[in-house]
Amino acid sequence: MDDDDRVFKALADPTRRFLLDLLFTRDGRTQSELESELEMTRFGVAKHLKVLEDAGLVVARRSGREKHHFLNPVPIRLIHDRWIDKYTERRVTALADLKRELEGTP
Amino acid sequence: MTPAATDVETTQIYRVYIKATPEEIWEAITSPEWTNRYGYGGFARYDLQPGGAFQVDASQEFIDAGAPSVVVDGEVIESDPPRRLVQTWRMLMDPTMAEEGFTRLTYEIEEVPHSATKVTIVHEMEQAPTVAAMVAGTSESTGAGGGWAWVLSDLKSLLETGARLSG
Instruction: Determine which of A1-10, A57-66, A97-106, B122-131 has the lowest per-residue pLDDT on average.
Output: A97-106
pLDDT at residue B3 greater than cutoff 60 = no
pLDDT at residue B166 greater than cutoff 70 = no
Residues A37-69: tens digit of each pLDDT? 999 999 999 999 999 999 999 999 998 889 999
A6 and A56 both lie in a single domain: yes
Q: Comparing A101 with B48, which gets the higher pLDDT?
A: B48
The verdict on A68 touching B (C-beta cutoff 8 Å) is yes
pLDDT-based confidence at B164, cuts 50/70/90?
confident
A95 and A50 both lie in a single domain: no
A78 and A63 both lie in a single domain: no
In chain B, which residue ranges form alpha helices assigned H by DSSP? 22-30, 32-35, 60-64, 95-100, 129-135, 147-161
Report how many domains make up chain A: 2
Residue to test with chain A: of B8, B18, B110, most A Cβ within 10 A = B8
The span from the CA of B122 to the CA of B108, in Å, is 8
Q: Residue A23 belongs to a domain with what CATH number?
A: 1.10.10.10
A13 and A53 both lie in a single domain: yes
Question: What is the pLDDT, as a whole number, of residue A106?
Answer: 54
- Measured in angstroms, the CA of B14 and the nearest CA of chain A are apart by 5
Question: What is the pLDDT, as a whole number, of residue A12?
Answer: 97
Long-range contacts, stretch A58-65, CB < 8 angstroms, 24+ apart: A58/A19, A58/A20, A58/A23, A59/B13, A59/B15, A59/B120, A61/B2, A61/B3, A61/B13, A61/B122, A62/B2, A63/B2, A63/B3, A63/B4, A63/B5, A63/B8, A64/B5
Per the structure, the complete domain to which residue A59 belongs is given by 1-72
pLDDT-based confidence at A105, cuts 50/70/90?
low
Domains of chain B: residue spans and CATH: 9-161 (3.30.530.20)
The span from the CA of A50 to the CA of A57, in Å, is 10
Instruction: Write down the ipTM of this complex.
Output: 0.85
pLDDT-based confidence at B113, cuts 50/70/90?
confident
A8 and A53 both lie in a single domain: yes
A1 and A40 both lie in a single domain: yes
Residues of chain B in contact with residue A85, where contact means CB-CB under 8 angstroms, are 165-167
A79 and A89 both lie in a single domain: yes
The verdict on B119 touching A (C-beta cutoff 8 Å) is no
DSSP B47: -
